[in-house]
Amino acid sequence: MPCPFHNHHPDPFREPRHKDGILLNDFHGDVMPILLRHGDVRNAARDWETFSSDAPFKIPIPTEEDVRTVRQLPLEIDPPDQLDYRAIMEPYFNRAKLPDVIAQIEGLVEAHVQAALKRETIEIVREFAIPLQSHGLAYLMNVPQSEAETWIKWGVHVFREGDGTSKGAAMEAYAASLLERGAEKPSDDFFSALTRATFRGRKLTREEMLGFCSIVFAGGRDTIINSISGVIGHLAKTSSDFEFLRADPKRIIGASEEFFRVLSPSTHLTRKCTRNVNLHGIEVQAGQFVSLNFAAANYDPEVFDDPESVRLDRRPNPHVAFGFGTHLCLGAAHARLMVRTLLKTLCQRVARIEIIQAKDRLETESSYQRRLAYETLIVRMVPIDEKNDSSR
């Protein structure tokens, strides 16, 4: 059905994707070509030998030289090293598939939804999504839930305040304290495990450990926050989709994939060209950068029929919201668990969601403006029993 997500902000990449397949954008004085088509994005993500991730601080947009001092691992490195670094982290991110962790996340989401139902209104971004993401990460990393209270205070973006001020030094100091505690008092949490981990027979350096910490805290923060608020906003505006899911909970798995496609919480990442390439007539020299735009790829009409409509039963759904290739998002299983559990709990406990106030969060660049869920979303959640009482 028509997507309320696009009522005021249609796909900003529709025309350039159709016309040229590429868009030039000035990122803070650096003009960079952006790949927009699904096939181009997937091919570039797969071809790491041409489109390299070995570019510390340069892979995220905007670049992060001013907010951190360490290379994020395994994001900013190529195979074969990337695969060996990734293997160090995978056991913790795969915890999202364990029955005990699934049960913890189910209890967490249930508690947050029940708390929201008891309130007259709740602001979803800061009072619901950020706490939910932070406590969920604490379970994933197997650290005490008390640590989540620190993470909640970081706001939407781990490195930058709303005015752009860097919080990077404080975050790295905090991560260093977790590593020191983990070395002094070994346990089964992720940060303690890093102090014991090895890379090709040697212990990790402190810089490498901090690089892992950086990606843990930054990689899935605003993306999950945007996903949670985007899902709630959509269900509030589209009651028929809410009822569609409530009628058959088996639809939730497919629906969550469609939400990831539609919301595409991470717009793009860059790659450094290792050789001269021609991209739809644009000459890119070795050493220059190109953007892989996952959000644009997820709306390619050559792949997705009627892409600006939300179809919670869309099949197939080869979205690239979690990237593609060797750098496929480590946190994908965790993000899926969080969103699926949220949808399940909302269907079980919430009759409807009423929007009281909403302000879109926008990503504004020289050549486009894209909506990223909400800056503010104040809602009232109406419990199932209240709906039943009012119908008598």
Q: Which of 157-166, 218-227, 374-383 has the highest mean pLDDT?
A: 374-383
pLDDT above 50: residue 189? yes
Both tokens of residue 340? Answer: 């699926």
Reference 290, options 298, 301, 280, 300; nearest CA is 280
Number of other residues whose CB lies within 10 A of the CB of residue 280:
14
Please give the pLDDT value at position 387: 52
pLDDT above 50: residue 391? no
Please give the pLDDT value at position 157: 83
Assess contact for 191 and 143: CB atoms under 8 A: yes
- H-helix or E-strand spanning residue 282: strand 282-284
Rounded to two decimals, the pTM is 0.95
Q: Give the residue, 40 or 168, on which the prediction is more confident.
A: 40
pLDDT above 50: residue 389? no
Write out the residue range of the structural domain in which residue 74 sits: 4-390
Please give the pLDDT value at position 158: 83
Residue 368 — pLDDT band, cuts 50, 70, 90?
very high
pLDDT above 70: residue 4? no
d(CA 357, CA 359): 7
d(CA 156, CA 165): 13
Please give the pLDDT value at position 392: 33
Please give the pLDDT value at position 108: 98
d(CA 53, CA 38): 19
pLDDT above 60: residue 31? yes
d(CA 60, CA 55): 10
Residue 5 — pLDDT band, cuts 50, 70, 90?
low
* 318 SS3 class: coil
Give the rounded distance of the alpha carbon of 274 from its chain centre: 27
d(CA 125, CA 260): 17
d(CA 106, CA 113): 11
- Rounded to the nearest integer, the mean pLDDT of the chain is 94
Q: How many residues does the chain have?
A: 392
Range scoring the smallest mean pLDDT among 16-25, 149-158, 170-179: 149-158
CATH code of residue 310: 1.10.630.10
b/e map 212-242, b = 16+ CB within 10 Å:
bbbbbbbbbbbbbbbbbbbbbbbbbbbeebb
Q: Total domain count for the chain?
A: 1
Task: Over range 117-128, report the average pLDDT.
Answer: 98
* 134 SS3 class: helix
Q: Give the residue, 299 or 1, on which the prediction is more confident.
A: 299
Residue pLDDT, tens place only, 52-92: 999 999 999 989 999 999 999 999 999 999 999 999 999 99
Please give the pLDDT value at position 292: 98
Both tokens of residue 112? Answer: 């947050």
pLDDT above 90: residue 18? yes
Task: Over range 254-280, report the average pLDDT.
Answer: 97
DSSP 304: S
Residue pLDDT, tens place only, 313-364: 999 999 999 999 999 999 999 999 999 999 999 999 999 999 999 999 999 9
pLDDT above 60: residue 243? yes
Please give the pLDDT value at position 285: 98
Please give the pLDDT value at position 280: 96
Please give the pLDDT value at position 155: 87
Measure the N-to-C terminal CA separation of the chain; round to a whole number of Å.
Answer: 31
d(CA 292, CA 44): 8
Which residue shows structure tokens 């071809």?
Answer: 47
Please give the pLDDT value at position 355: 98
User: Could you write out the DSSP letters of every residue in 154-186?
Assistant: T-S-SSB-TT--B-HHHHHHHHHHHHHHHHHS-
Both tokens of residue 220? Answer: 């899935």
Residue 275 — pLDDT band, cuts 50, 70, 90?
very high
Helix, strand, coil percentages, rounded to 5, for the chain: 50, 20, 35
d(CA 167, CA 42): 33
Both tokens of residue 7? Answer: 């009522």
